[in-house]
Amino acid sequence: MSVASWNTEYQQWRHLPSSRTNKASRALRWFANHGLSNIPKTGLILDVGCGSGRNSFFLASRGWRVIGVDYSDAAIHLAKAAARRTKLARLASFSVHDVTKRFPLRDQSCDAAIDMSCLHLLNKLGRHAYARETYRVLRPGGYLLIFTIASCSATRRWRRAHPGSEPRSYVIPQNGNQEKAFLRLEITNLFHRLHLASWRTLPISVHAFGGMHKVNYHLALFQRPQISLVDKKRGKLGRKTGCDHL
């Protein structure tokens, strides 16, 4: 969906329930009990595809610093206004940004990144660029929480009726948006440099294609290893050759 379409969505609240609620995602509330407690309150969390900031505010209200990015300037305008209104601007900041481009963050600067339904909106090239960037900005030991659409009977019906441009993708006729439903293996392969800490598949009732449907969602919690695979290989090489590594 184009930037203009997303701006219209956030200005008029036309199709997506998530664009007109202030309640944090169910997946993020689960993460609050499975991983968040390991992140110090001085830590920084990246909210990818933050929309109008509902999940960022959930985190900021509990003391974490959050940076939310979204390529809809209308959504970011709403998020910034809400931050001022709720007096959370000290902890929650927002910027217009395409999540398939380099994040405006230093290497290994984030203790966690969350993606509450952004990944399935990206094309193949965008997903790979996004995976590289999330790895780059996560600190060793940092978490990545992904909540995205799973391939299921509902998405297969949608694919047959409104096929998209890649496997398991479909087009939503109301807004022209293409979404991709994922197999578990596709997601673990995409984030292969991260350790899979937890995996759940959740049935969610969603409003789509003019009615309510039961759709499965993947909830995946990844963690960046303390030592990368490259460092491990270097360590083995050093032991074999007697080299010192600074």
Q: Give the closest residue to 185 by CA, choosing from 171, 165, 199, 172.
A: 199
Q: Give the closest residue to 51 by CA, choosing from 88, 15, 111, 6.
A: 6
* pLDDT tens-digit map of 151-200: 999 999 999 999 999 999 999 887 788 999 999 999 999 999 999 999 99
C-alpha dist (Å) from residue 31 to 76, 114, 164, 221, 222 = 24, 10, 31, 8, 11
* pLDDT tens-digit map of 38-88: 898 889 999 999 999 999 999 999 999 999 999 999 999 999 999 999 999
SS3 for 198?
strand
**Which residues touch 94 (CB under 8 Å, ≥6 apart)?**
50, 53, 56, 67, 68, 69, 70, 76, 79, 80, 83
Q: Is the pLDDT of residue 7 over 90?
A: no
Paired sense of beta strands 110-116 and 44-48, if any: parallel
What confidence category does residue 230 fall into, taking pLDDT thresholds of 50, 70 and 90? Answer: low
**Which residues touch 61 (CB under 8 Å, ≥6 apart)?**
86, 88
pLDDT value of residue 175: 76
Distance separating alpha carbons of residues 10 and 12, to the nearest angstrom = 6
pLDDT value of residue 241: 31
What confidence category does residue 223 fall into, taking pLDDT thresholds of 50, 70 and 90? Answer: very high
Scan for tokens 């019906």, then name that residue: 157
In the numeric block, which tokens belong to residue 102?
């380099």
pLDDT value of residue 194: 98
pLDDT value of residue 209: 79
Q: Please give the backbone phi and psi of residue 203, each rounded to the nearest 5 degrees, phi first.
A: -80, 125
